[in-house]
Amino acid sequence: MPTVRVYVTLKPSLLDSAGRTVTDSLQKLGFDEVKDARIGKVIEMVVEPYDEARVREMGERLLANPVIENFRIEVAG
Amino acid sequence: MPTVRVYVTLKPSLLDSAGRTVTDSLQKLGFDEVKDARIGKVIEMVVEPYDEARVREMGERLLANPVIENFRIEVAG
């Protein structure tokens, strides 16, 4: 059964305020080596049968908001 | 500058209600090939210098909730 991961991330030009909070919090804890953190989500699905075009359509119609987000698809066997 | 991704996922034994909603919604849209969807998050960080043990500590102390979540680390050059 193919496991498919769809990674959804905010477009790079947009301010990621949750990511900014994570960066600040990590630095406050002493992790000064963290320069920039951005947060995305990953949807892991069992898709049988797998068809990349259809998974792309899922991303466009439901999983991501194409106005502000990018997504990429990865198949994990 | 090493880009590090920390993937945080709910432990498999726990009910993922957001993932369940995504599965149901995709099936309602006609994507019947989706059997099970689970949702996680990914924190993408620039970490310089990179030290795996320290990134693991970030995961345990701030990025994941070890009671209900697992995480894994990936370095992307």
CB contact under 8 A, A43 and B19: yes
If you average pLDDT over every residue of chain A, what do you get? 95
Chain B interface includes A31 (CB < 8 A): yes
8 Å CB contact between A8 and A41: yes
How many folded domains does chain B comprise?
1
Q: What is the mean pLDDT of residues B33-52?
A: 95
pLDDT tens digits along B25-42: 999 999 999 999 999 999
Question: What band does B7 get if pLDDT is binned at 50, 70 and 90?
Answer: very high
- The Cα B77–Cα B71 span in angstroms is 19
A74: pLDDT strictly greater than 80: yes
pTM equals 0.89
* Binary contact (B51, A61; C-beta < 8 A): no
Residue B64, domain CATH: 3.30.1280.10
Q: What is the ipTM of this complex?
A: 0.86
Check residue A61 and give its pLDDT.
95
B51 part of contact set with chain A, CB < 8 Å: yes
Q: By residue range, what is the domain housing residue A66?
A: 3-75
